[in-house]
Amino acid sequence: MSESRRVFLKQVSMAAAAPIVATGSASSFFAASGTVAPDDAARIAAIEYDLAVIDATPGGISSAIRAAREGLNVLLVNRTMHLGGLISGGIGVLDALYDGKRSPILDEFQQRVLDFYRAKYGENSPQYNTVRPGPRLGPGSRLSFESSVGEAVLNEMVAAEKGITVLKGCYPTGVERVGRILRTVTLGQEAAPGSIKITAKIFIDATYSADLAALARVPYRIGREDRNEFNEPHAGRIFTYQIKAKEARYPQAAVIGDLNIRPVNVVSSETFASSTGAGDNKIGAWNYRLCVSCDPNNRRYPEKPANYNRQEFVDTYSDDFPRIGSHLINQKTTWWENLPAENWAYPDGDWPTRHKIEARYRDFALGRMYFLQNDPSVPAARQKQALQWGLAKDEFVDHDNIPYEIYVRESRRIVGRYVFTEHDASLARGYDRTPVHDDSIAITDWYIDLQQVSRERQPGSSDEGLLSLSELTRPSQIPYRSILPQDLDNLLVTVCISTTHVAWGAVRFEPLWMQIGEAAGFAAAIARRRGLDPALISSTELQRTLVEHRLMVSFFNDFDMATDSPWVPAVNYLATKGFFDSYNARPNDPLLLSTAEQWVKSASEILLGVSDGDKRARRLAQSRNTSGFATANTFGSMLAKSDGLDKAKGAGAIWAVMSRQKLARNGVLKRGDACHLVYRLISGVG
C-alpha cells in the first residue's frame, strides 16, 4: 500500500471535529460547518447532471462509482457528513453467506479492506486473521472491519473518480415531476436554512427510507402484508420459536455441501397456532450498533442518559442482553440490543420526528450499558463482564463515539413493476432453484431474517414477528423490475426495492444493495448512451452488460464470476432464461442429448422474443435424461434447424462461432461451451 493511502486512512480514522474532505479527484462541496457555500450551491444548481444519487449509502456509492467509470457526470448527495451508511456507522461486518466474487465494486471494497489490514499489521497478524473470512463451515466469520476503516476505504474509492461531485449535509425535501419524469429535486441542509435545487437526467434513490421516491409520489408499503395477499406462508402477524444451535446447521444443504453458502446456527420453528397472518403497518426492531472496546486506554464508559428510566431495564433484564459481536479487531467489537415497536412512526415521519426517535434509541443503548455496569440489581459477575467494555474512543470521534446513523433495518418499500415475495426466495415448484426471472440483475444469498415487531409472546414462543427461515430460503434472482417504480421512468430505487415484508428479510443487506447499486449504475450509463430513461432500456442489454463485467445475476455452486473461462457470462445469463433447473452448472460435463434438445428449443424461443425462463426451467426438469451425448456438430445442426435463426445465415453463423471457439465438431460438447455458443448466437455476436 502506498504511503499516501496509509496516511489517508489514518486521517479518517483519527479525525477530530471537522469533517474530512476526501482526497483525490472527486469534488466536495461543504464548508467546515457542514453547510454549502452560496457560490457552491449556485454552481451545483446550474449543472444538469447525467445522474444524481441520493444518499451515499454503500449501495448509493456503488451506483455513483460505476456510473462515473462509465463516463457519466454524477452528483452524490449525502444527508450526514460521513459517506458509507451503516458500513461507516457500526455494522462492522459484511452480511454475506456467499464468499464468491459477484460484483466488481463490492469485491473491490472487500479487497481494499483486506489490503489495508495486511499492509498495516502483516499477513500473520491477529488483525488480518480476524477480518478476513474464515472457512465456509467454520464459526461463520465473514469479512469484518472497523467502522473508521470501512468509511476510509469508501471515501478513497469515491475520491478516485473524477466524474463524481460529492454534496454532504443535504437531503431531499421536494421534487418537480412532469408526468413520468422527475425533473428536479430540492435539497434541504441539515445544518442551515435554505435549499438547493438540483437537475439530472436520471435519479437514484439509495436512501434507507425511500425518501426521494416518497416525495415523487411513488407508491410504497410500510409494514406487513396479510398472508392472503400474496399467499405467503409466513406473512403478517406470526409467532415462532427461534432455535439457536451451538454449531452452524442451517440449511442442511449447505452443511452437507450441496449449497455453496455459509450455514448459520439459527432457525425458526413451525409457526404457532396463534399466528393469524393479519397484515399491519408495523416494522421490525432497530438498534444502534455501538462500537465498544475492552482496551482500558481506548474505552469510555457512558454517563447516565438524561432520559434514563431505570425501571425499563429492570423489567427487561436478561443475561442475553446485549449482543456482543464475535469479531474482535484491535480489542474492539460491536454491542447492540433491539428495541421493538418504537420505530413505527419513523418511515413517514419528518426529520424532527425521526431525530426524536433516534435520540430515544441512542438513550436506550447507552442506558442499557449504564444499567449493566452500575445498577446494584445486576449480578456481580454480569456487572464485571459489562465493565470490560466501553465506547471505543477512536471511533466516531466527531460524534461523541456514537455511530452517525441508526440501523434502519426496514422502512418504506416501493411498489415497483414487480413485487419480490417469499415465494421468490424459496425453491420453485418443479425445479431445484428459486424462481427464474428473465430480467434478473443481482442475487440474494442471505436467508429470510426478520427482527421482532414487538415484545409480545405466546407461551413458548419468541417475540412476535421474529423469523429466521434459514432452512427454507435459497439464493434468488432480483428482477430489474423490482427497482423500477410503476409510474416513473427516470428513477431507480436501489435500497428500498419492491418486496413484501417477509421477502425483505432476504434483501436487507449491504452486499446485495452494493450489487444492485452497481447494476443501477450500469443501467444509467446504458440509458444515457441510448438517450432513453432507465425504465425503457432493454433488460437484455443490461443483463449482457452485467455478466460481461462479471456481475452475478444467477447463483451457482460451482463457479464464481472471477472464473477465467469464456463461458462464464453465458452460463450466468442463460440461467435467467431457464437453461438450468438447479444451482449446479456443471460447465465441464458433457452435454446430454436430452438437455441439448431442451436448450435448442429454449434458444429458439428467445430468438423469437418469448420471455418465460420459469417455464423453461420447469420443462427442463421434467425432461427425461438420455444416456447419449451431443457433439458440437450435432448441437450445431439442431440449432440450424430450429425456429428463430435466419435459415439463410443461421448455419453459417453457427459454424463460424464454433470455429472461433475452436470446438472440435465431432468431439463431445461440454455444457459450458454449448452455453457459450448459444449466448453468442442469440447476442448476434459472430
C-alpha cell at 194: 435554505
Among 360, 392, 424, give the residue marking a domain's end. Answer: 392
Give the pLDDT of residue 19: 28
What torsion do the CA atoms of 439, 441, 447, 452 make, to the nearest 10 degrees?
Answer: -90
DSSP per residue, 507-541 = H--HHHHHHHHHHHHHHHHHHHHHT--GGGS-HHH
Q: Measure the CA–CA gap between 253 and 474, rounded to whole angstroms.
A: 10
Mean pLDDT by 10 residues, the chain (686 residues): 31 29 54 72 94 98 98 97 97 96 98 98 96 82 95 98 96 98 96 91 98 98 98 98 94 97 96 97 98 98 96 92 89 97 98 98 98 96 96 98 98 98 98 98 98 97 98 98 98 98 98 98 98 98 98 98 96 98 98 96 93 96 88 93 74 86 90 96 73
- Counting beta carbons within 10 angstroms of the beta carbon of residue 486, is it exposed (0 to 12), middle (13 to 18) or buried (19 or more)? middle
Which CATH number do you get for residue 203? 3.50.50.60
* CA–CA distances in Å: residue 313 to residues 166, 316, 463, 580: 42, 5, 17, 53
Distance between alpha carbon 633 and the CA centroid of its chain, in Å? Answer: 43
Residue 18 lies in a domain: yes
- 95 shares its domain with 208: yes
DSSP per residue, 225-283 = --TTTTT-TT-SS----EEE-SS--BSHHHHTTSS-S--BSEEE-PPPTT-----BS--
- 301 shares its domain with 156: no
- 177 shares its domain with 92: yes
- 198 shares its domain with 320: no
Measured at the CA of 517, the angle between CA 433 and CA 216, to 5 degrees, comes to 110
Residues 6+ apart with CB under 8 A from 251: 259, 263, 447, 470, 471, 472, 473, 474
Q: How many domains are contained in the chain?
A: 3
What b/e string do you get for 231-264 counting C-beta neighbours within 10 Å, with b at 16 or more? ebebbbbbbbbeeeeeebbbbebbeeeebbbbbb
Residue 95 lies in a domain: yes
Phi-psi region of 652 (alpha: psi -120 to 50; beta: other; left: phi over 0): alpha
Q: Measure the CA–CA gap between 485 and 293, rounded to whole angstroms.
A: 43
- 216 shares its domain with 306: no
- 194 shares its domain with 322: no
- 215 shares its domain with 301: no
Q: Measure the CA–CA gap between 617 and 621, rounded to whole angstroms.
A: 6
- 195 shares its domain with 337: no
Residue listed under C-alpha cell 447463483: 555
Range of the domain at 615: 564-686
Residue 643 lies in a domain: yes
Residue 511 lies in a domain: no
Residue 605 lies in a domain: yes
Number of H helices, E strands in the chain: 20, 21
Give yes or no for a contact between 126 and 11, defined as CB atoms under 8 angstroms apart.
Answer: no
Among 202, 220, 238, give the residue marking a domain's end. Answer: 220
Give yes or no for a contact between 560 and 552, defined as CB atoms under 8 angstroms apart.
Answer: yes
- 295 shares its domain with 215: no
Give yes or no for a contact between 202 and 54, defined as CB atoms under 8 angstroms apart.
Answer: no
Give the β-pairing of 477-479 and 440-443: antiparallel
Residue 488 lies in a domain: no
- 295 shares its domain with 216: no
Give the pLDDT of residue 657: 87
- 305 shares its domain with 177: no
Give the pLDDT of residue 29: 62
Q: Measure the CA–CA gap between 600 and 229, rounded to whole angstroms.
A: 38
Give the pLDDT of residue 4: 32
Q: Measure the CA–CA gap between 252 and 243, rounded to whole angstroms.
A: 14
Residue 596 lies in a domain: yes
DSSP per residue, 613-660 = HHHHHHHHHHSPP-S-B-BHHHHHHHHHTSTTS-TTTHHHHHHHHHHH
- 296 shares its domain with 180: no
Residue 438 lies in a domain: no
Alpha helices (H) in 330-461, listed in sequence order? 351-374, 380-386
Give, rounded to a whole angstrom, the gap between the first and last alpha carbons of the chain. 43
- How many CB atoms sit inside 10 A of residue 199's CB? 18
Give the pLDDT of residue 135: 86
Measured at the CA of 285, the angle between CA 280 and CA 286, to 5 degrees, comes to 135
Among 333, 368, 392, give the residue marking a domain's end. Answer: 392
Q: What is the pTM of this model?
A: 0.95
